[in-house]
Amino acid sequence: MASGKKNQNKKTGNGANLGFEEKRWQVANLIWKIFSDPISSIAPNMKHRRKKEAFKKRVLTWADKLEVKVRSLYVRPMKNKWASCSTKGNLNFNYELLSFDAEVADYVICHELLHFSVPNHGKLWKSLMRVHLGEYEHLEVVLSQRSNRRAE
Ligand SMILES: [Zn+2]
C-alpha cells in the first residue's frame, strides 16, 4: 500500500466522521427550512405532513447521536406539555413544536432524549444539555413565553 494513501486514511479518521455528522445536520436543517418557509408553494396540509416527517427525522437523528433507542414516536396535540417520554423509549411531542425554529425543537428533543439516561434536571442533565446544545437557557425562555407548557 502506498504510504500516501495510508496517511490520507489516517487523516480522515476523525475528520470523515465529523464531516458526515455535519452533513447530516446540514440536510436536517435544510429540510426543516424548506417546510418552514411560509411562501413555499406546498399546500398547507401537505406541508404540515412533511414538516411532521422532518420533525420525526430530526428526533431520530438526535437519538442516533445520543445513542438512544426510540421505540415509539408520536407528534400530536398535547394540552399541558411540549413533550413527554417513558423510560421504555416511547416519545410524544406536541405538534405545536412544528411551528418553532429548529433550535427550539432541538432543545425539546434533546431534553427528552437525555431523560432516557438521566431522569431528572440535575447537574448531570444540565451539563449534558450544555455539551449538545451550548447555551440553551434562552430556548427555555422562548418556550415559556409561547405558553406555560413544559417539556417534562
Ligand atoms: Zn425534563
Question: How much distance in Å is there from the Cα of 58 to the middle of ligand 1?
Answer: 18
Helix (H, G, I), strand (E, B) or coil at 74: strand
User: What nine digits make up the cell of 6?
Assistant: 495510508
Q: What gap in Å lies between CA 82 and CA 93, rounded to an integer?
A: 6
Is-contact 106 121, C-beta < 8 A?
A: no
How many folded domains does the chain comprise? 1
Percentage of the chain modeled with pLDDT above 70: 80
Q: 128 or 13: which carries more pLDDT confidence?
A: 128
- Reported as type and span, the H/E element at residue 82 is strand 81-85
Percentage of the chain modeled with pLDDT above 90: 47
Q: Where are the alpha helices (H) located in the chain, listed in sequence order?
A: 3-36, 44-66, 102-114, 123-133, 137-146
pTM score of the predicted model: 0.74
Average pLDDT over residues 43-69: 89
Is residue 144 scored above 70 in pLDDT? Answer: yes
Identify the weakest region by mean pLDDT among 91-95, 104-108, 114-118, 141-145. Answer: 141-145
Question: How much distance in Å is there from the Cα of 114 to the middle of ligand 1?
Answer: 8
Question: How much distance in Å is there from the Cα of 36 to the middle of ligand 1?
Answer: 26
Residue 20 sits in a domain whose CATH number is 3.30.2010.10
Q: 4 or 35: which carries more pLDDT confidence?
A: 35
- Reported as type and span, the H/E element at residue 138 is helix 137-146
Dump pLDDT digits (tens) for 24-53. Answer: 888 888 887 777 766 556 677 777 888 899
Chain mean pLDDT for the chain: 83
Question: How much distance in Å is there from the Cα of 19 to the middle of ligand 1?
Answer: 31
Give the structural domain span for 78: 3-151
Neighbouring C-alpha atoms within 13 Å toward the C-beta of 86: 8
Q: What is the pLDDT of residue 17?
A: 62
Q: What gap in Å lies between CA 85 and CA 116, rounded to an integer?
A: 8
Is residue 150 scored above 90 in pLDDT? Answer: no
- CB count within 10 Å of CB 108 equals 21
